[in-house]
Structure formats: structure tokens, C-alpha cells
Amino acid sequence: MAKTKNKHIKYIFVVGGVMSGVGKGITTSSIGKILQSRGLHVTAFKIDPYINVDAGTMNPTEHGEVFVLKDGYETDQDMGNYERFLNIELSRDNYMTTGMVYKSVIERERNLEYAGKCVQVVPHIPLEVIARIKKTTKKDGADVAIIEVGGTVGEYENILFLEAIRMMKIESPEDVITVMVSYIPTPSTIGEMKTKPTQHAVRTLNGTGVQPDIIVARASRPLDEKRKEKIAVFCSVRKEDVISAPDVESIYDVPLNFEKDHLSAILFHKLGLKMRRENGTLKEWEKIVKRIHSAEGGVHIGIVGKYFKTGDYVLSDAYISVIEALKHAACKVGRKAILTWIDSTDFEEDPKKLAELEQYDGIIIPGGFGKRGIEGKLAVIRYCRLKKLPYFGLCYGMQLLVVEYARDVLKLKDAHSTEVNPATVYPVVDIMPEQKENMRKKNYGATMRLGHYEAKIIAKTLAREAYGKESVLERHRHRYEVNPEYVDDLKKGGLIFSATSPDGVLMEIAELPKKRHPFFLATQFHPEFQSSLLHPHPLFVAFLKACMKKQ
């Protein structure tokens, strides 16, 4: 039998210029989407230039949401963008940090795997990065790997990853291209787009030995021909290789905008691939995006949390998956999701403000950790339960639902989670027994239930009606569980645990029956991590339908 010819894999690196936060993650996702639409098998990577080994210990108000993969690895929020755009499930191998790479190299050196060589920052760190990318791309069976390098060109932190690009380009010049996402400011006092910051960013990138093949120009409005020509001349690219990326109403417009500048054709040409016909994927995408823009009427959702407020600014990146899951579900039901951020501490300072919740069609309490704002959240849950206002709790939102129910319905006045009050007389939410020893040793990295776990769903419940099946896999990120010792009492008090672990020990979904409440449901897992534009999560869809009925 003849040997199968090895697949010739292509690599696209995405780097940032001028400043961070201009959309490298969405650019990476959008490039993947348009290549998928031409029949290529795509995988994606995120490189974070932090010493942290994973994203699990990063503060959400500083770094944004911690996204959990199916294998339980805690990563940057951009991994969520990749999965939502590409409808693929990525693994821990698709994510790396500086800390992870150094840790791996040091462990290999300690294990004598370098055969006595002097192990150096260069070339051994970039070589480790390259080896990880190639190994995972092959494992994923991809034609093209898209690798986003975090940070901005010119920072010391990411220079070793730029060195990896340089080395790969030398090794396989026809298989590696670089896309720079660079900001084009328009000073309000001038009113004219300025390309000089991008010119400087490209020169800085050139100083590392890397030349961008394509420049994605992020700006408040579409780039004009004069600016494209200027960037082309001073940044050593063709004018057609300057892609306009204006601000858009929805991030899901971005792949469609890229195709207006023929980005897929440019990518195929630069990668030496024969152009393929569009396979209908992008047309389906375009239909859904049109539904987003044409939706009439809104569903007003209040999100009660604590990670999004700093001074006068709202840091919604802490809950980006929740936001996108609501948008997906809203598109499915033909409405727009209108979101309002509510700080739970407001209700502790002034309980009368609870009456303001009636203006919303539904309330969500998302995941979180810690003590601050907890009594405010409990007051919100009680208000939603008594006023029959649709309520959807996620992770911590379920644990607090159980605490509130135990206090108000079972009359266990001091009931609490041991996370908040370790000395509570009624620990209705407690840490898993097998993890208590790790907590005592302060080995916090080993105390979470992370990643996919199976849940069995009980018939004739809201959860079963939404899913339409009796077993699901959902992603977790938490230390505490509903205490099994109180489950029977909670059930007798009228609370339904409509989904449990296969052995029935761990409670996965809590709800009230429809005859008592239109939608009062919470999950121990994070359903938002598995929602996408093409496949909205069924629980979010069910929640929004209940909100629409409330209208």
C-alpha cells in the first residue's frame, strides 16, 4: 500500500500594533471562519505573555473572563471567541503562556532531556513554542493553524514569541505569514485618520526580524484609499494587503467585512493554496447576522454581579461568555438582548432599590467568588422568587439560590456557603470532602471541579423541556457544591433538583416548577461556555422565552 502523503500545514500568526484591546482575538476568529467557509480545516492557538502557568489565578477585572475548555483547562477569554466562531472544541494544547513554556523547558532540563546542552532562552524557548504549535496542529488534523500572540509589538514580554515566528519563517517561508492588527486613530481635534503609529509599530516588528504580510487596520470608520496607499508605501505591503476593520455593531459582522476586502483570496494566495469556492458556511453566517440586525424589540436583562464595575467604567469582559450567550439566544428568538449591569452592593446599601428590578424582563446572577456583595445577591434572588420575575443563576448563582431558599423557605436563618461563612450552623453549600485536604494545604490549584462532567436530567422539568434529552455534558469551574446532607430537606421544601451527577450525589440544576414560577432555574455548571452563534445554548433560549412571556 502506498504511503499517505504528509499534509502541508500552513501557519498564520496574528500580532498587535499600537495598543492592546483592538480585536486580535476577533480577527483571529474571523480569519478562521472565512478559511472554514472555503473548506479548510482550521485550528487556533492563543499565546499569553504572562508568567502565570494558566489563566485561573488572574483577576477578571484586570484580565477579563477565565474561559474553561472541555478538558478543564483555564484559559484566556479569546479561546471562547475561537470556539464560538469556529464551532470547534479546543484543548489545553491550544493555549500557552510564558510561564507554561518556561516551566516545560526547565522540567525537561531537570530530566536531562537536553543531553547536557547549555539550555538558553534563545533558541530553546522559541523552539519549545514552535514544537507545541506543530504537535497540536498535527493532532487537530488542521490544514491551517492561526496563532494569536498576546500583547502589543514593542513589549518585552512577547519578544520570544515573535522570535518563534522569525525562526518558523526561515524554516518554511512559504508556509508562514504574519497578520498585524493595528490601530488607526482619528484625533477629535483633527478629524483625520493618522497612520504614523502603525508605521512605527511595523518598524518595531521589523526590528525583531518579522515583516507583516497583511495589516488589519482597526479604526472607528472604514479606511479610505488614501490611507491604504500610505500604509502600503511606508509599511512595505501591497495596498490590497491592507484590510479595513471599522467598528461594527456586532462582532459577528467582522468575517463578512473582511470578505469585502477579499481577505480569503489574499490568504490563499500568500499561503500558496489554490483558491476554493465558498461552501455555504459564510452564507448561513450572513443570514444569522442579518437576523441580529433586523430583530425588532428587545429583551431587557439585568445582570447582577461585582466584577464589572471600576470607577465610572463597566468591565463587561469579566462576563463575556454570558453576554455572547444572551446575544445568541436573542437572535434565535428574534429579539435584541438589552443588558444592564447592576452592582449587587447597591441593594445592601439601599434595599428599596430592589423595586427597580421590576423594569427588567429577567435577571441573571453569573458566576463569581468571594464575599463582597453576597447579601445583595441573596436579596435579588428572593425578590425574583417572590415577584415571579424570571431568574437564571449560573454557578455561584445556583449556590446562592440554595442559600436563599434554605433561609427563607426552610427557615434556616443562618444558612450559608462555607466559602463565605466557614462557621455557619447550616452549611447548605460546602466544599467537596475530597478537596478539603488540598484547601488546608493551600493547594488551591487542585480544589476545583473543572471541565466537562455529565449531568442526568429528570423528566417533566424546565431543564428537560429545554434540552430535550436526558443526559448532557457541561463545563464546570467551582470548588463548592450543594451539601448532600440538606438535599432531602430542600426537596421537601419544594425545590427541584432537575439534574444531578450520574451517581445522584452532586446537584447540577435547581429549579421551581412552572406552576409556582415562570422561570426560576440555576445551574452549577457554566452553560455559557458552550453557546455559539450557530448553536445557542438551550437554557439561555428557554430563559429568554420566559422573559418574553413576562413582557
d(CA 425, CA 433): 17
Cell numbers 471562519 correspond to 33
Indicate which residue of 328, 452, 478, 526 is catalytic.
526
Residue 154, helix vs strand vs coil? coil
Closest CA to 108 of 94, 125, 133: 125
Indicate which residue of 395, 419, 452, 508 is catalytic.
395
Cell numbers 474571523 correspond to 30
Q: 537 catalytic, yes or no?
A: no
Indicate which residue of 476, 511, 528, 537 is catalytic.
528
Cell numbers 492563543 correspond to 46
215 to each of 21, 26, 33, 84, how far by Cα in Å? 16, 15, 18, 24
- β partners of residue 243: 216
545 to each of 117, 258, 308, 330, 483, how far by Cα in Å? 63, 34, 26, 9, 31
Cβ atoms of residues 144 and 39 within 8 Å: no
Closest CA to 149 of 44, 42, 234, 260: 44
Cell numbers 499534509 correspond to 7
Q: 528 catalytic, yes or no?
A: yes
Calculate helix-pair angle for 24-36, 263-270, nearest 10 degrees. 80
Cβ atoms of residues 173 and 165 within 8 Å: no
**Residue 311 gets which letter from DSSP?**
T
Catalytic residue list: 395, 526, 528
